[in-house]
């Protein structure tokens, strides 16, 4: 309640001093607790797992911000399972993530882009959750101070596997996106932005308040605009694209023969950061399309299903958008053949993805 004669407005804010103080902040911790109360069967395990996740995001955000000052830029001198050179921050973020997941006591196994094999936490044989993550997405942008992110998927193991206490097999873990219980990402930009969604739920965005050390709900119930004339793709690969993909992107830039009135045609704007998290976050807020198609050079695509494509597809769909692979199949239904399996992807505003489907018929 407001004191000293100040009046609270409907948002619980008062006008004391220059800064309006909000007394009714929804932190991620509060949001998770409120969600847990809605589910009578909830044990609290998922909430505890999410607390560990948010700690890893805060730690990664902290080291990224200080990287140039404490010699954390540049290569680590190693390469990961898919052959990419690892940056020092790829390795550090991966280790922070592993440690947070192990410490949560609620995670049975972790799949990471930076680890060839599944990491099993055998000290917690009855833990029912598995997390897949890309600890730093967009790491080629790190040393330039351009936004990068962490992407995560959360899966729940079948009761039979949990009760047995045995290690879940790779087959158990290769679930399609429709089986995920939650997914999201944190973008480390001007501020750290955490976006999370649960199966069949809404999409909520939180901003890290560095002073409070808390993620604050700033973007409740996010919804992607139905259409927007922005495309985001590495056009340098167009030489390798299949002809239908080439003509789809060309159609965004110049009127086709069938265009009713070429004088009224307005070309799309091109925006490509090269960090999927940042490109996807902009697409979520502004609308448009982000794509990384499969091509002749990478017939299975570049982005990984379990910790890049599926979690982003879940966010897009729950925000009212769409996501498909290069075969025009719903991305959420694509089952990976291995933990690091890849896919082409087109995702974003509903109407933009419908154009993609039409062009690839
Ligand atoms: P990562 O840094 O985890 O390897 O992922 C990079 C991904 C993704 O963030 C981005 O959209 C894409 O690779 C950029 O690839 P190109 O440089 O080929 O455009
Ligand atoms: Mn990535
Ligand atoms: Mn990565």
Looking at residue 5, its pLDDT comes to 45
| Spans of all domains in the chain | 28-219, 230-359
Q: What distance in angstroms lies between residue 304's CA and the mean position of ligand 3's atoms?
A: 10
What is the rounded distance in angstroms from the CA atom of residue 157 to the CA atom of residue 112?
17
Domain 28-219, CATH number (from 3.40.50.11440, 3.40.50.1380, 3.30.43.10, 3.30.540.10): 3.30.540.10
Q: What distance in angstroms lies between residue 94's CA and the mean position of ligand 2's atoms?
A: 12
Measured from the alpha carbon of residue 292, the closest ligand is 1
> Per-residue pLDDT tens for 310-346?
999 999 999 999 999 999 999 999 999 999 999 999 9
Helix H or strand E encompassing 331: none
> Per-residue pLDDT tens for 258-267?
778 888 899 9
Looking at residue 40, its pLDDT comes to 85
Looking at residue 11, its pLDDT comes to 59
Q: Is the pLDDT of residue 73 over 80?
A: yes
Answer yes or no: is the C-beta of 275 below 6 A from any ligand 1 atom.
yes
Q: What distance in angstroms lies between residue 149's CA and the mean position of ligand 2's atoms?
A: 8
Q: What distance in angstroms lies between residue 215's CA and the mean position of ligand 2's atoms?
A: 23
* CA 171 remoteness from chain centre: 23
Neighbours of 71 (CB within 10 A): 9
Looking at residue 162, its pLDDT comes to 96
Is the CATH number of domain 230-359 3.40.190.80?
Answer: yes
Q: Is the pLDDT of residue 306 over 70?
A: yes
Instruction: Give 279's contacts (C-beta < 8 A, 6+ positions apart).
Output: 232, 271, 272, 273, 290
* Site to substitute for ligand 1 among 140, 151, 237, 295, most atoms within 8 A of C-beta: 140
Q: Is the pLDDT of residue 22 over 80?
A: yes
Q: Report helix, strand or coil for 236.
A: helix
What is the rounded distance in angstroms from the CA atom of residue 313 to the CA atom of residue 224?
12
Looking at residue 12, its pLDDT comes to 59
Residue 48, token pair as written in the block: 């505890």
Neighbours of 233 (CB within 10 A): 21
What is the rounded distance in angstroms from the CA atom of residue 147 to the CA atom of residue 279?
9
Instruction: Over range 10-22, report the average pLDDT.
Output: 68
Answer yes or no: is the C-beta of 276 below 6 A from any ligand 1 atom.
yes
Q: What distance in angstroms lies between residue 79's CA and the mean position of ligand 3's atoms?
A: 11
C-beta separation of 268 from 278 below 8 A: no
Looking at residue 353, its pLDDT comes to 98
Q: Is the pLDDT of residue 1 over 60?
A: no
Q: Is the pLDDT of residue 17 over 70?
A: no
Q: Report helix, strand or coil for 254.
A: coil
* CA 14 remoteness from chain centre: 35
Q: Which atom of ligand 1 is nearest to the CA of 84?
A: 4
Q: Compute and round to an integer the Cα radius of gyration of the chain.
A: 21
Measured from the alpha carbon of residue 233, the closest ligand is 1
Of 23, 309, 37, the residue nearest 183 (C-alpha)? 309
* CA 222 remoteness from chain centre: 14
Q: Which atom of ligand 1 is nearest to the CA of 82?
A: 4
Answer yes or no: is the C-beta of 137 below 6 A from any ligand 1 atom.
yes
Looking at residue 29, its pLDDT comes to 96
Instruction: Over range 199-205, report the average pLDDT.
Output: 97
């Amino acid at each position: 309640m407001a004191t000293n004669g100040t009046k609270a407005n409907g948002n619980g804010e008062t006008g004391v001093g220059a800064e309006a103080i909000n007394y009714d902040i929804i932190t991620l911790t509060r949001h998770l607790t409120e969600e847990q109360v809605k589910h009578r069967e909830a044990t609290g395990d998922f909430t505890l797992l999410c607390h560990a996740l948010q700690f890893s995001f805060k730690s990664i955000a902290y080291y990224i911000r200080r990287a140039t000052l404490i010699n954390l830029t540049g290569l680590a001198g190693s390469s990961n399972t898919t052959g990419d050179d690892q940056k020092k921050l790829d390795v550090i973020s991966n280790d922070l993530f592993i440690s947070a997941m192990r410490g949560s006591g609620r995670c049975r196994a972790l799949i990471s882009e930076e680890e060839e094999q599944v990491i099993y936490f055998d000290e917690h044989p009855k833990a029912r959750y598995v997390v897949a993550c890309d600890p730093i997405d967009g790491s080629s942008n790190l040393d330039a101070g351009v936004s990068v992110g962490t992407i995560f998927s959360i899966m729940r193991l079948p009761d039979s596997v949990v009760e047995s206490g045995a290690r879940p097999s790779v087959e158990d873990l290769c679930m399609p996106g429709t089986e995920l219980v939650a997914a999201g990402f944190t973008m480390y930009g001007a501020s750290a932005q955490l976006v999370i969604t649960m199966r069949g739920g809404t999409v909520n965005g939180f901003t890290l308040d560095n002073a409070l050390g808390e993620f604050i709900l700033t973007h409740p119930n996010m919804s992607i605009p139905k259409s927007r004339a922005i495309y985001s793709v590495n056009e340098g690969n167009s030489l390798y694209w299949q002809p239908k993909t080439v003509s789809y992107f060309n159609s965004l830039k110049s009127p086709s023969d069938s265009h009713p009135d070429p004088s009224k045609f307005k070309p799309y704007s091109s925006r490509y950061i090269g960090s999927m998290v940042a490109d996807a976050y902009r697409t979520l807020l502004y609308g448009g399309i982000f794509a990384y198609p499969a091509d002749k050079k990478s017939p299975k695509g570049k982005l990984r299903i379990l910790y890049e494509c599926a979690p982003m597809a879940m966010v897009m769909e729950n925000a009212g958008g769409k996501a498909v692979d290069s075969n025009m199949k719903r991305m959420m239904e694509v089952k990976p053949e291995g933990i690091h399996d890849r896919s082409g992807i087109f995702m974003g505003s509903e109407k933009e993805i419908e154009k993609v489907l039409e062009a690839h018929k």
